[in-house]
Amino acid sequence: MSSNPTLVFVPGAWHLPETWDKVTSEIETHQHKCVAVALPTTLSASSNFSDDVNAVKDAIRAETSKGRDVVVVVHSYGGAVGSSALKGFTPPQDGSASSGSGHVIGYILIASGFMANGVTFLHNSGGKPPPFWKEDPDTGLAILLVDTRELFYHDLPEEEGNTWVGKLQKQSMKAFTEGAEDSYAGWKEVPVWFLATVEDKALPFAVQKSFVQAAKDEGGDVTLREIETSHSPMLSKPKETADVILEAVAAFTKQK
């Protein structure tokens, strides 16, 4: 198994790592180790973006330090975290020989965006929250304002959608407003695949495609795939999502 890249999965805001369980179960049958990261900002209002980045870096380092290559897979807010966590783990950009450590050889975004250097998540996203959440200054949390089953899981059966609504966590506002010093456009250093969610009510499909085009315009090596789902394809179409991830991993491995 160690000859295959390890996949490190990063969830979105408000979400637990178990969001990825259906997909990782599929991928593990193909002899890939899967590691899903818990983001500190879903556990404590005092945690910030830098804490999330460091949690993902720790997961990457645990694999690369053993000589294993890594592919990072991110969803939604996790894209800002994952991109920033790539710093120092991608292959040498000058073509020099690599050390004995593994590297991040590819990056997969699902219904997400491309992070810039030296900015907060909120600044990178236009400077203000989208209409479906707001800051609660009394608690330091980002509060969802709409029907979250409809926002995130509208293509799941009602009972299952409600189950996932019940698993949503409190979300530290500091994930979005602090940690600019740790933000990094790591996606520019590795090949990228982007899985765009056509029926998304949280991050519209057209916006996702505009993100991809902007990344390409900045020189990014981005391959676009589409899936007919809500914001959460890992839950509503896990087999199809896993298939795209495996196709991307095969391409990354071939490109090494």
- The predicted-structure confidence for 182-196, as pLDDT tens digits, reads as follows 999 999 999 999 999
**Look-up: residue for tokens 């030296």?**
118
- The predicted-structure confidence for 106-123, as pLDDT tens digits, reads as follows 999 999 999 999 999 888
* Structure tokens given for 147: 């029907």
* Structure tokens given for 188: 């520019």
Q: What are phi and psi of 175, to 5 degrees?
A: -60, -30
Residue 95: band (very low, low, confident or very high) from pLDDT cuts 50, 70, 90: low
Fold classification of 6-255 (topology level): Rossmann fold (3.40.50)
Host H or E run for residue 201: none
**Look-up: residue for tokens 């409190």?**
170
Choose the weakest-confidence range: 50-59, 132-141, 157-166, 218-227: 132-141
**Beta partners for residue 143, in sequence order:** 134
Q: How far apart are CA 227 and CA 246, in angstroms?
A: 15
Give the pLDDT confidence score for residue 165 in this predicted structure: 98
Residue 97: band (very low, low, confident or very high) from pLDDT cuts 50, 70, 90: low
Q: Does the pLDDT of residue 1 top 50, yes or no?
A: no
Average pLDDT, the chain: 95
